[in-house]
Amino acid sequence: YDHFVRAINDSRCEGPFWVCAMALYQNEDMPSITISKQLGPSIENGPFATVLKQATNMIAVFTPAVDIYTRMWCVFEIFMAVKSGVNVQFVALSYQYLSGMENIYDAIFEHGKKASPSVNARCGNPSKPINSDEKKIRKLIQAFPGKFDTIDSVIEWCKASYHIREAVHPGMGFRSDPEHYLFLGGPGRFDFLAKNLSSAALAIDRLEEVSERITERTKSDDLCNTCCIL
């Protein structure tokens, strides 16, 4: 929780904030207000979707505690925000643990540098069976054209967009701490640019791969539909 609050504070985003993890009662110790009942029969018309329709920005918070790309609700909410035309902003708890550019812990960079297929993301405890809200989300995603590949394409697009913006205009986390001023010029500045541009390139490569899979899936589905009609 401390990491979460510090990340929001460092971002200098202005509230009020609606925090989905805190807006629902999640203890599951009262049958009358289970998570499933609070979400309602339709995820697309549930609490998060209702709030999202009235929002101008959605903040995705990255901390060392957990990789948000492994959490089903996180990737689904990023997708829903983009689908709804809501701006998605990445913020993170980044800190310097030793001197040198290479020793700044950047949660957005660390979590985003590898592919994390959304089909493997989970709700609740990953070691336990799929819970009711994960079943609802998976069922909804399976109905989308491209299915989980569509979610992955949006995630990689968001990663690439973030790193390109950072390369042009370093974010508040990069400028906020005194030790970071060292990197605004000289070799450190180029290290920062290289890290963001290479991260953007990786995300774009993965985006192209996913887009190709979606195209192939669409062609296959069209062929099946044609065969059925014939």
pLDDT in tens, 58-105: 999 888 888 999 999 999 999 999 988 999 988 887 665 445 555 556
pLDDT for res 179: 41
DSSP 80: H
Q: Can you tell me the distance from the alpha carbon of 145 to that of 120, in angstroms, rounded to the nearest whole number?
A: 18
Q: Can you tell me the distance from the alpha carbon of 68 to that of 156, in angstroms, rounded to the nearest whole number?
A: 13
pLDDT for res 25: 79
Which tokens hold the place of 35?
Answer: 């998570």
Residue 149's pLDDT band (cuts 50, 70, 90): very high
Q: What angle do CA 19, 23, 27 make, to 5 degrees?
A: 125
pLDDT for res 122: 94
Residue 218 has pLDDT above 60, yes or no: yes
- 94-134 tens-digit pLDDT: 665 445 555 556 778 888 888 889 999 999 888 999 988 89
pLDDT for res 171: 57
Q: What angle do CA 111, 113, 118 make, to 5 degrees?
A: 65
Q: Can you tell me the distance from the alpha carbon of 221 to that of 230, in angstroms, rounded to the nearest whole number?
A: 14
Whether the Cβ atoms of residue 165 and residue 131 lie closer than 8 Å to each other: no
Residue 138 has pLDDT above 80, yes or no: yes
Q: Please name the helix (run of DSSP H) or strand (run of DSSP E) that holds residue 220, with its range, or none.
A: helix 187-229
Measured over the CA atoms of residue 65, residue 69, residue 70 and residue 76, the dihedral's sign is: positive
pLDDT for res 120: 94
pLDDT, the chain, mean: 78
Ramachandran angles phi, psi of 13, nearest 5° = -75, 145
pLDDT for res 195: 77
pLDDT for res 230: 40
The neighbouring-strand residues paired with 88 are 58
DSSP 122: B
Closest of 46, 44, 220 to residue 146, by C-alpha:
220
Q: Which residues of 59-94 are buried (b: 16+ CB within 10 A; e: fewer)?
A: bbbbbeeebbbbbbbbbbbbbbbbeeebebbbbbbb
Beta-carbon neighbour count of residue 52 at 10 Å? 19
Whether the Cβ atoms of residue 75 and residue 81 lie closer than 8 Å to each other: no
Strand 95-96 relative to strand 104-105, pairing:
antiparallel
The residue with tokens 């996913």 is: 210
SS3 107: helix
